[in-house]
Amino acid sequence: MNKKQTNDYTLALIKGLGHSLWAVLRHAFVKRETVSYPDIKRSLPLRWRGRIVLTRDPDGEERCVACYLCSAVCPVDCIHLQAHQNNDGRRYPETFSIDFSRCIFCGFCEEACPTLAIQLTPDFEMCERHHESLVYEKNQLLIDGQGKHPDYNFYRHAGVAIPGKAIGEAKGDTSPVDRDNNLP
Amino acid sequence: MNFAQWLLALSSLGLALLGLLFIAALMVYGERKILALLQDRLGPNRAGPFGLLQPIADFLKLLTKEHFVPPFADRNIYIIAPIIVPFTALLSFVVVPVSDDWWLADLNIALLFILALSSLRVYGIMLGGWASNSKYPLFGGLRSAAQMISYELPMGLALMGVIILSGSFSLVDIVAAQELPFIILQPIGFIIFLVCGIAETNRLPFDLPEAENELASGYNTEYGDIKFAFYYLGEYIGVLLIAVLITVLFLGGWHGPWIPGVFWFMLKTLTLIFLFFWLRTSLPRLRYDQLMNCGWKFLLPAALINLLVTAFLGLFWMEG
């Protein structure tokens, strides 16, 4: 390193030192970024992946048809349910529990759900003192509303026959093909 | 000395100790607040008014933790090492004059006393790193030892200029000699002492012994509970000591117009402490070889030249 280079280096060093000191000092007069969380709560985006709920359809029935897809897709195996069928042919979960101490809030269950029943909500304030308290049972998960997808009723669009709706009578559904008269 | 004198001496020592611990606690709070101020944050504001009780909360937390000694550590040295650091730093304050009639002891070798104690402080860090018997603390301790050796030399040589000008090792005499602060007569000495002081206290940009990124906080990696609190206390007392020393040696101590000397002393010290915190949040950590280069190739020759020039000038000045 020759003398010229050394001088340039030292000068750049001193200039850089002064510049960074000044740049940092200016930040003393900048607006604070901190949100004083428990006092001021920011509104979360609607697509925030927080506490999981089970929604109902507009008729007030459970949307969940106990297909086990959420349980199967769950990467940490935190969803457990037991399917049951009532007299008119509708399936529903007899028990449904989510272990939030294992849940990683990935949202796979919401994506897997064919009936838009299971949904993640913008709520993360669910601290408990014990792990057992974080296992939510069906009565804690099921809500009265329709969540993010109002006016959607799985049985009104497709699906198996239920009382009041035979196969082919749903919205956008075509009546079933008569096998015997469909020959070429 | 009779009983009353002993009582007076011990009580004043105890008061000074309590005061220093209180100041160290406030410095922890102040550092966090100033870092927050310069980083667009709020800093601690939960414990007590404006978060002022935060150091007490931290201390209680560390105190109530399990007193754990790793099974692979060298038990005795592991426990003694963190005690050395705040002990030596606190002891140095005995000789510091706060005002023109306010000090604990006026040793005629005060500066040598302080330099000796600051050299001893290395042992606390080095032995802590060694006794932890684990790779990161060992490297932290090694770095600390190398760093302290490299920076003690220019530090002592920079002080020689001050000693030549004042003609005394006693801090009281040195301050008394500074009608004109030595920062004007010894600007190079001041800069060298400032840099060495920061290196001496392991503060950024020279905090290589406890580099969080590469050494996982270095010599105190294996330390927890109250032993960690001792290291922490030692670090802040060390910062306070360096700030106080620069005030006394270069900024004219209690000298200043209009307001009482104690307040001038406090003002100068607080400004320097702010500078330390400001530097911490502004500058990146130096690399190990850069640190060594800076110490041996730049600071040491500069200190030697400074000493030489001061000695020549002092010689003619004193003769003439």
For residue range B82-116, list pLDDT tens digits in order.
Answer: 888 888 888 888 888 887 777 777 788 888 888 88
CB contact under 8 A, B40 and A17: no
Contact B154, B300 (CB under 8 A): yes
CB contact under 8 A, A24 and B37: no
Contact A167, A176 (CB under 8 A): yes
Q: Say how many domains are in chain B.
A: 1
Separation between Cα atoms, residue A165 and residue A159, nearest integer Å: 10
Residue B74: per-residue pLDDT: 84
Interface of B with A in 274-293 (CB under 8 A): 278-279, 281-283
Interface of A with B in 18-37 (CB under 8 A): 20-21, 23-25, 27-28, 30-34, 36
Of the ranges A51-55, B117-121, B144-148, B219-223, the best mean pLDDT one: A51-55
Count the neighbouring beta carbons within 10 Å of the beta carbon of residue A8.
11
- Tell me which of B33, B40, B194 to substitute to probe the interface with A (most A C-beta atoms closer than 10 Å): B40
- Residues comprising chain B, all counted: 320
Whether the ipTM is more than 0.85: the answer is no
Q: Which residues of chain A have pLDDT under 70?
A: 1-4, 6, 159
Residue B107: per-residue pLDDT: 80
Separation between Cα atoms, residue B97 and residue B248, nearest integer Å: 8
Nearest-Cα residue of chain B relative to residue A21: B282
Residue B320: per-residue pLDDT: 46
Give the position of tokens 């008014």.
B49
Residue A38: per-residue pLDDT: 84
Measured between CB atoms, which of B42, B279, B283 is closest to A34? B42
The amino acid occupying position B25 is A
Separation between Cα atoms, residue A76 and residue B147, nearest integer Å: 49
Contact B169, B110 (CB under 8 A): yes
Residue B319 has pLDDT above 60, yes or no: no
Separation between Cα atoms, residue A28 and residue B9, nearest integer Å: 44
The domain limits of chain A are 1-30, 52-157
What CATH fold (topology level) applies to the domain A52-157?
Answer: Alpha-Beta Plaits (3.30.70)
Structure confidence by residue, pLDDT tens digits, B147-199: 888 888 888 888 888 888 888 888 888 888 877 787 777 888 888 888 888 88
Picking from B282, B92, B101, B94, the residue whose alpha carbon sits closest to that of residue B204 is: B282
Structure confidence by residue, pLDDT tens digits, A78-102: 999 999 988 877 888 999 999 999 9
CB contact under 8 A, A20 and B282: yes
Q: Which residues of B are less than 8 Å from A28 in CB distance?
A: 37-38
Residue A2: per-residue pLDDT: 63
Domain range for B166 is 65-319
In a domain, B284, yes or no: yes
CB contact under 8 A, A32 and B45: no
Residue B41 in contact with partner chain A when CB distance is under 8 A: yes
A177: Cβ contacts below 8 Å, ≥ 6 apart? none
Instruction: Report residue B200 as tokens.
Output: 């001496």
What mean pLDDT is predicted for residues B56-65? 86
What mean pLDDT is predicted for residues B270-280? 90
Q: What is the mean pLDDT of chain B?
A: 84
